[in-house]
């Protein structure tokens, strides 16, 4: 049934109504182009009114003479005309019966076969950009430069703005846009009728003259493109917008029903919190009775309120000073003042993302209730569905996207009993799932890769920019990102500054030069002002730095809390037996020690020796080569036994007990030990490790610790100290490089030699870090030759990292008015949260991830036997998909194979061997947990061979690799 003559369709008669936009080969249903244009425009208007955050709307409005009114008109109009390129022979010929319908109306065209491959030169997005540009220039007197900045939005609505060469190819082949001869005039008339009708229906005709003088900044072009993409995707969903001839409703009813069926959560409308910092923190966080906000937290709240407009805030403070809580408090103030509609908390690893997610939910629970508010939340990493808290939200928020009967009442959404209660509903919205849409959720905790992808030339990059542009962005552990990642981070910060996105950067401390780089990247063109000298000249610690684009930064040292203390450093010769002997002395009266090694191999070697000396029950191992469920259990166990006294009361070992860990112990674990032994590492990481030493008070004067261990001590090993220049062990050099290790040793010498002055926390944190990362020489004169050689290698490596990162890095923000043509030319394709995808923004070789299962004696497969909750030993049949519970349990046993398997030849051989266990029954849609996964089957003794290596796995020690 045809649409009643109303709205856009009511303005059109004749051949134009035969032009098609959508077709379903299964049902033979179809959708006229005018109907899809009207649907898209209506959705864009609803997105503008009900979904886009206020700061995004304000940014678009700022560039237009009519402000917010013009911005909405432009957004709706661009959504309406985005598919005008479908009114071309190159597109219309694709479905014979629909092309015949158009031919019957006089719109002649070649068949698809007659066009051949030539047709692909004019995909409908590219054709749409050409047609819209022509219309603006020929009918309204615009120049090509003026039209390009608007027409590029339809041109890029399939994720990739066109390049100049592609546009020239279309200009050279006009037959792809209009059939030559008399029929070409009818094609032109149809195209102009559609564009004229959209201009009239969406009331932009009278504004085109004013818009002709507009200089549209590139960030606004990106945001408009992203909104059009979202509107197009929603309007293209046949469950929401059914095809003809089944559709019988008018336009308004059709759109209203679709919007009820979609039920997108609205953005967060933050209100400026009242009261002082103490009142704010007491209402948002679980403060112990009588606890006072710390100076850093109080200063961060005050500065956030004093900034002329929200911008960048860098918070540098010691471990345990409450930087996370400060960031969330500042985010709330920034959101209220800027109109941001959510928060993205970017963390260095999946493990830290998992740890942050429940804290984010708890904070959301405590925000002021907003009647009827539904807040979309996301845990953003590749294994988020295995996180129990996020999985609960997925189940509770599950909804089928389907058209709603217009005559029926809208279904009332009710939370399930298993979902957490909250003043406002927290949901993982069904439509927002998937790698390209998920980041559009309002509240996100995830890996920093998701943020770095915004600086990577990749398809649908505009959607990632829309996702971050509407939020306050928090970047945690900023010191943890190497040169390669920093190249992307700095470029992303420059775009965030252009979008006026509020950003909070957290770090225990930053090298002064790096602090300035971050500040100048965000400030953009204003970042070279002399006022930025204060950013890298301050020696105060803790330190807060704020940047408002166009103004000089503000630097303030709020002072530290009374927390802290002294740590005495000692050298310890390397050697497993040396370590065992020393620990036997130190732990003679009990106590808990943490031994941090720089490689997994050293962790396992150390644990083996210590177990022989102290017994199996006295040694715990923690490193990155555990299956996912075991790694999560390890973190939980460490927190339970070695966490804060109020949380681990009664469960802390009396001792002696030793935890042997890799770098997983450095961050995001609130654990506390009596003694620390650590391999030499870069000094900022050394300080992070020290943050696990005497982290909490245990009785007056630490009286609850063994008498020998009441003074905090750190034994530095992993080095041959006997030579003229210290020689770190090979594994440490491979991980960190000799230069960083030597400079770390050099700045620590005053604490290791002579009077052995203790490291005072937090007073010595900044001097140590600045000394290690400055350009000035450090260390004894006799080190100078080794230091110079190490520096040369270090600089070559950094230059290599920066050069390789530049290959796919997004260009800087272009001058205002420059169209986004070629914006992501020579890009990386799709950016996704796979190991290969993450390798694009991290300087790491692509590594293999496997799912670990066990092969029984009879050849059958099962989940590994030690999994708790009844998940161990579940059958994994090979002739059919496993039961959902078994498949999810198996998927939770993901394991990243170590560096040995990242070398090209070894990786190829390993993949070939792993693919021998290919189970076709697991590749179906209903078995999504295991589809496409590489399966590593262990024998009954949890051992196997792979690519010439022997692999052994245990619940206590994780993966051990020996062999070639």
Q: 């609850």: which residue's tokens?
A: 704
Kind plus residue range of the DSSP H or E element containing 514: helix 512-523
Quote the pLDDT of residue 412. Answer: 30
The residue count of the chain comes to 964
pLDDT for position 410: 31
Beta bridge partners of 378: 444
- Strand pairing report for 719-720 and 727-728: antiparallel
For the range 145-152, what are the long-range contacts, defined as Cβ-Cβ under 8 Å and sequence gap of 24 or more?
145/817, 146/212, 146/213, 146/214, 148/819, 148/821, 149/214, 149/215, 149/216, 149/221, 149/817, 149/818, 149/819, 149/820, 150/74, 150/78, 150/211, 150/216, 151/819, 152/221, 152/225, 152/819, 152/820, 152/821
Nearest to 46 by CA among 204, 229, 231: 231
Look at strands 675-679 and 713-717 and give their pairing.
parallel
Our CA dihedral for 261, 471, 335, 442, rounded to 10 degrees, sits at 30
Enter the DSSP assignment of 673: B
Name, in order, each residue with C-beta under 8 angstroms of 833's C-beta and a sequence gap of 6 or more.
Answer: 380, 381, 382, 435, 447, 449, 450
Which residues have CB under 8 Å from 742's CB, separation 6+?
A: 725, 726, 728, 779, 783, 786, 787, 790
Domain ranges of the chain: 7-233, 277-556, 565-623+630-761, 845-963
Q: At 460, phi and psi to the nearest 5?
A: 55, 30
CATH number of 277-556: 3.40.50.300
Nearest to 283 by CA among 243, 219, 329: 329
Structure-token match 């005309």, residue found? 81
565-623+630-761, what's its fold? Rossmann fold (3.40.50)
**157: its two tokens:** 């609505």
Contacts with 215 (C-beta within 8 Å, 6 or more apart), sequence order: 63, 149, 816, 817
Tell how strand 719-720 and strand 675-679 pair up.
unpaired
d(CA 643, CA 640): 6
- Residue 696: the pLDDT is 85
Q: Whole-angstrom Cα distance, residue 953 to residue 942?
A: 6
Closest CA to 667 of 292, 320, 200, 192: 320
Eight-state DSSP code of residue 566:
E
| Cis previous bond, 689, omega within 30 | no
Domains 277-556 and 565-623+630-761 share a fold: yes
Hey, CA dihedral for 476, 478, 483, 489, is it positive or negative? positive
Tell me if 725 sits within 8 A of 698, measured CB to CB: no
Could you give the 3-state DSSP secondary structure of residue 444? strand
- What is the tally of helices (H) and strands (E) in the chain? 36, 27
Terminal-to-terminal C-alpha distance of the chain: 71
The per-residue DSSP string of 682-738 comes to -HHHHHHHHTTBS-S--SGGGTTS-GGGSS-EEEEESEE-SSSS-EE-HHHHHHH-H
Q: Where are the beta strands (DSSP E) in 437-553?
A: 443-447, 472-475, 503-507, 543-547
Of 470, 402, 398, residue with least CA distance to 429: 398
For 672-731, the pLDDT digits (tens) are: 999 999 999 999 999 999 989 998 888 888 999 999 999 999 999 999 999 999 999 999
833 Cα distance to chain centroid: 9
* Tens digit of each residue's pLDDT (9 = 90 or more) over 210-262: 999 999 999 999 999 999 999 999 999 998 999 988 776 778 899 999 998 88
C-alpha 540: how far from chain center: 31
Which distant-in-sequence residues (6+ apart) come within 8 Å of 887 by Cβ?
Answer: 876, 881, 922, 927, 929, 930
- Would you list the DSSP string of 239-264? TTSPPBTT--S-HHHHHHHHHHHH-P
Whether 2 and 245 have beta carbons less than 8 Å apart is answered as no
Provide the 8-state DSSP code for 349. S
* Rounded-to-integer distance, Cα 357 and Cα 433, Å: 17
**What is residue 833's three-state secondary structure?**
coil
DSSP string, 48-67: HHHTS-HHHHHHHHHTSTTH
Q: Nearest to residue 394, comparing CAs of 443, 430, 359?
A: 430
Helix (H) / strand (E) containing 97: helix 96-103
Separation CA 682–CA 661 (nearest Å): 17
Q: What is the pLDDT of residue 649?
A: 63
The verdict on domain 7-233 having CATH code 1.10.3210.10 is no
* Unique residue bearing structure tokens 């991290």: 842
Which of 485, 477, 541 minimizes the C-alpha distance to 669?
477
Two tokens at 151?
């027409």
Contact indicator for 483, 453 with CB cutoff of 8 Å: no
pLDDT of residue 887: 92
Nearest residue to 604 via CA among 660, 658, 656: 660
Q: Which residue has the tokens 């996100």?
A: 444
Q: Is 724 exposed, middle or buried (CB count within 10 Å of its CB: 0-12, 13-18, 19+)?
A: exposed
Q: What pLDDT shows up at residue 829?
A: 65
In the block, tokens 């491979």 appear at: 734
Euclidean distance between CA atoms 195 and 77, whole angstroms: 10
Give the pLDDT confidence score for residue 421 in this predicted structure: 36
- Decide: helix, strand or coil at residue 285: coil
Q: Which residues of the chain, if any, have pLDDT below 50? A: 1-4, 398-424
């Amino acid at each position: 049934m045809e649409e009643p003559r109303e709205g856009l369709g009511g303005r059109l008669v004749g051949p134009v109504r035969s032009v098609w936009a959508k077709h379903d080969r299964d049902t033979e249903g179809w959708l006229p182009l005018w109907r899809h244009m009207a649907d898209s425009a209506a959705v864009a208007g609803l997105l503008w009114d009900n979904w886009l955050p206020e700061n995004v709307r304000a940014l678009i409005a700022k560039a237009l003479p009519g402000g917010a009114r013009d911005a909405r008109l432009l957004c709706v109009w661009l959504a309406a005309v985005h598919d005008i390129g479908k009114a071309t022979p190159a597109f219309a010929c694709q479905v014979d019966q629909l092309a015949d319908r158009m031919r019957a109306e006089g719109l002649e065209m070649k068949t698809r076969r007659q066009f051949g491959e030539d047709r692909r030169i004019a995909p409908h997005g590219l054709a749409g950009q050409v047609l819209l540009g022509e219309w603006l220039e020929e009918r309204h007197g615009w120049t090509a430069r003026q039209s390009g900045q608007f027409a590029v939005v339809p041109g890029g609505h399939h994720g990739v703005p066109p390049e100049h060469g592609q546009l020239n190819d279309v200009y050279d082949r006009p037959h792809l846009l209009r059939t030559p001869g008399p029929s070409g005039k009818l094609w032109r008339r149809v195209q102009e009728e559609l564009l004229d009708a959209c201009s009239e229906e969406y009331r932009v005709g009278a504004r085109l003259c004013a818009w002709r003088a507009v200089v549209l900044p590139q960030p606004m072009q990106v945001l408009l493109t992203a909104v059009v993409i979202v509107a197009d995707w929603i309007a293209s969903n046949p469950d929401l917008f059914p095809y003809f001839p089944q559709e019988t409703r008018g336009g308004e009813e059709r759109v209203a029903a679709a919007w009820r069926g979609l039920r997108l959560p609205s953005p967060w409308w933050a209100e400026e919190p009242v009261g002082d910092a103490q009142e704010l923190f007491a209402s948002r966080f679980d403060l112990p009775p009588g606890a006072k906000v710390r100076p850093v937290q109080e200063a961060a709240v005050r500065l956030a309120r004093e900034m002329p407009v929200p911008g960048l805030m860098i918070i540098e403070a010691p471990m345990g000073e409450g930087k996370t809580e400060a960031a969330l408090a500042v985010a709330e103030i920034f959101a209220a003042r800027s109109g941001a509609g959510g928060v993205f908390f970017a963390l260095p690893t999946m493990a830290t993302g998992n740890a942050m997610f429940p804290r984010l939910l708890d904070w959301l629970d405590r925000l002021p209730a907003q009647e009827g508010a539904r807040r979309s939340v996301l845990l953003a990493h590749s294994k988020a569905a295995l996180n129990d808290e996020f999985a609960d939200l997925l189940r509770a928020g599950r909804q089928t996207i389907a058209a709603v009967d217009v005559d029926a009442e809208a279904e009332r959404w009710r939370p399930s009993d298993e979902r957490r209660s909250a003043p406002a509903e927290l949901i993982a919205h069904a439509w927002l799932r998937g790698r390209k849409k998920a980041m559009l959720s309002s509240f996100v905790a995830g890996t920093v890769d998701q943020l770095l992808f915004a600086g990577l030339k990749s398809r649908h990059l505009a959607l990632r920019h829309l996702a971050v542009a509407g939020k306050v962005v928090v970047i945690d552990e900023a010191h943890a990102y190497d040169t390669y990642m920093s190249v992307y981070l700095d470029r992303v910060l420059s775009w965030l500054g252009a979008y006026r996105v509020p950003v909070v950067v957290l770090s225990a401390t930053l090298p002064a030069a790096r602090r300035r780089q971050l500040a100048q990247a965000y400030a953009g063109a204003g970042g070279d002002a002399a006022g930025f000298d204060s950013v890298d000249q301050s020696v105060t610690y803790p330190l807060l730095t704020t940047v408002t684009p166009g103004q000089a930064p503000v630097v303030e040292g709020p002072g530290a809390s009374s927390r802290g203390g002294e740590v005495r450093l000692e050298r310890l010769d390397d050697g497993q037996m040396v370590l065992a002997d020393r620990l036997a002395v130190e732990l003679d009266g009990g106590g808990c020690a943490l031994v941090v090694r720089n490689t997994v191999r050293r962790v396992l070697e150390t644990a083996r020796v210590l177990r022989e000396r102290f017994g199996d029950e006295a040694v715990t191992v923690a490193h990155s080569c555990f299956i996912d469920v075991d790694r999560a259990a390890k973190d939980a166990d460490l927190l339970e036994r070695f966490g804060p006294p109020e949380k681990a009361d009664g469960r802390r070992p009396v001792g002696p007990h030793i935890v042997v860990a890799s770098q997983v112990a450095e961050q995001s674990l609130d654990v506390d030990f009596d003694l620390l032994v650590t391999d030499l590492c870069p000094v900022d990481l050394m300080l992070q490790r020290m943050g696990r030493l005497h982290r909490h008070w245990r009785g007056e004067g630490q009286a609850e610790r063994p008498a020998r261990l009441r003074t905090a001590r750190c034994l530095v090993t992993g080095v041959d100290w006997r030579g003229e220049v210290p020689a770190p062990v090979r594994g440490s050099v491979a991980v960190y490089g000799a230069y960083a290790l030597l400079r770390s040793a050099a700045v620590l010498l005053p604490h290791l030699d002579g009077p052995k002055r203790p490291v005072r926390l937090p007073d010595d944190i900044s001097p140590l870090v600045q000394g290690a990362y400055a350009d000035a020489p450090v260390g004894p004169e006799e080190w100078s030759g080794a230091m110079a050689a190490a520096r040369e290698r270090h600089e070559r490596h950094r230059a290599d990292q920066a050069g390789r990162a530049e290959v796919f890095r997004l260009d800087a923000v272009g001058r205002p008015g420059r169209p986004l043509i070629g914006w992501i030319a020579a890009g990386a394709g799709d950016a996704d949260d796979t190991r290969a995808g993450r390798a694009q923004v991290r300087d790491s070789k692509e590594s293999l991830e496997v799912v670990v299962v066990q092969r029984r004696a009879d050849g059958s497969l099962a989940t590994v036997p030690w999994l708790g909750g009844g998940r161990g030993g579940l059958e994994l049949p090979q002739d059919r998909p496993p039961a959902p519970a078994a498949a999810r349990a198996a998927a939770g046993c993901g394991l990243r194979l170590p560096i040995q398997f990242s070398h090209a030849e070894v990786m190829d051989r390993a993949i070939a061997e792993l693919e021998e266990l290919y189970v076709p029954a697991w590749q179906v849609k209903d078995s999504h947990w295991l589809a496409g996964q590489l399966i590593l089957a262990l024998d009954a003794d949890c051992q196997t061979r792979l690519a010439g290596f022997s692999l052994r796995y245990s619940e206590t020690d994780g993966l051990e690799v020996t062999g070639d």
